[in-house]
C-alpha cells in the first residue's frame, strides 16, 4: 500500500496477531514470515482457513467491512504492517492501482474459499493434502526461484491437519505414503517435491 502511514509490529511464532472479537478499523499486511487465519471452534479445535505469506493482506474484505470474521496467528516470527482502515479506503478511491490490488486480493481469497469448500466436502485425505501442498508451493514459487523443488515449509503436521479437516495421525500416514511413492518428502522445515506431475494429478479438482 503506497503513500500510507504504517505501524510495524513483530509477533513471535505461535502468538496471536488479531482475535475475531476485535473491532478495530485497521488493515493488516504481512511483511515477513508466515501466518494463518482461522476459526476457533467451540470444542477447542480450529479450522485453518488460509496460510499467509509476505505481501498478503490478512483480510481484504475488512477494508470495507471494518473487522475480521476470523482470528490470525503467527506461524513463524512475523513482521506485520498496520494501516488505518479509513486511510486505505481513501487511497482506494483516489488511486486506481491500489483499488485494483485490493480487488485482486479479494478475488484470490474468493477462489481459495471455493476450493477449500470443494476439497473438504468432496475429496479424500490424500487429495486434500496434495491440494494444500500444491497451492502453497505455487504461492511460495511466486516469491522467487526455488532450486531443485526444495520449498521452505515451516508447517507442522497439526497445521496441515487443521487446514484439511483431518487428525495429525492421518496426515502423518498420508505424508509417509507420499514419501513411499516418491512424490515428496517433508523434513527439517523443507518440502522436497520429487514427482511434481504426480502431485498435480492428486491435487486436481477437475
What pLDDT does 67 receive? Answer: 63
User: Contact at 8 Å (CB) between 58 and 72?
Assistant: yes
Cβ-proximal residues to 188 (8 Å cutoff; 6+ apart), any chain: none
41 φ/ψ sector (left φ>0, alpha ψ -120 to 50, else beta)? beta
Global pTM value: 0.86
Euclidean distance between CA atoms 177 and 103, whole angstroms: 39
Query: 9 with 83: CB under 8 angstroms?
Result: no
Count of residues in the chain: 206
Give CATH for domain 6-119. 2.60.120.10
pLDDT per residue as tens, the chain (206 positions): 556 778 999 999 999 998 876 767 788 999 999 999 999 998 988 999 999 999 998 888 777 776 677 899 999 999 999 988 888 888 888 888 878 888 888 788 777 777 888 878 778 999 999 999 999 999 999 888 788 889 999 999 999 999 999 999 999 999 999 999 999 999 999 999 999 999 999 998 76
Spell out the residues 6+ positions from residue 47 whose beta carbon is closer than 8 angstroms to its own.
Answer: 38, 39, 41, 162, 163, 165
Specify the CATH architecture of the domain 125-203.
Sandwich (2.60)
CA distance 138 to 179: 20
Q: Please state the domain extents for the chain.
A: 6-119, 125-203
Which pLDDT score, from 0 to 100, does residue 14 have? 95
Amino acid at each position: 500500500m503506497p503513500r500510507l502511514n504504517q505501524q510495524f509490529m513483530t509477533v513471535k511464532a505461535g502468538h496471536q496477531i488479531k482475535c475475531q472479537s476485535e473491532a478495530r478499523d485497521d488493515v493488516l499486511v504481512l511483511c515477513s514470515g508466515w501466518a494463518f487465519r482461522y476459526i476457533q471452534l467451540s470444542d477447542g479445535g480450529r479450522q485453518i482457513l488460509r496460510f499467509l505469506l509476505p505481501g498478503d493482506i490478512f483480510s481484504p474484505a475488512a477494508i470495507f467491512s471494518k473487522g475480521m470474521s476470523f482470528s490470525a496467528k503467527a506461524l513463524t516470527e512475523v513482521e506485520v504492517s498496520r494501516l488505518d482502515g479509513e486511510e486505505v479506503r481513501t487511497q482506494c478511491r483516489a488511486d486506481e492501482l491500489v483499488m485494483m490490488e485490493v480487488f485482486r486480493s479479494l478475488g484470490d481469497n474468493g477462489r481459495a474459499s471455493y476450493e477449500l469448500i470443494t476439497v473438504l466436502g468432496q475429496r479424500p485425505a490424500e487429495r486434500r493434502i496434495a491440494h494444500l501442498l500444491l497451492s502453497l508451493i505455487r504461492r511460495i514459487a511466486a516469491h522467487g526461484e526455488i532450486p531443485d523443488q526444495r520449498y521452505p515449509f515451516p508447517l507442522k503436521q497439526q497445521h496441515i491437519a487443521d487446514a484439511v479437516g483431518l487428525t495429525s495421525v492421518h496426515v502423518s500416514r498420508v505424508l509417509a505414503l507420499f514419501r513411499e511413492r516418491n512424490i515428496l518428502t517433508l523434513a527439517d522445515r523443507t518440502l522436497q517435491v520429487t514427482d511434481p506431475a504426480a502431485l498435480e494429478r492428486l491435487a486436481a479438482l477437475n
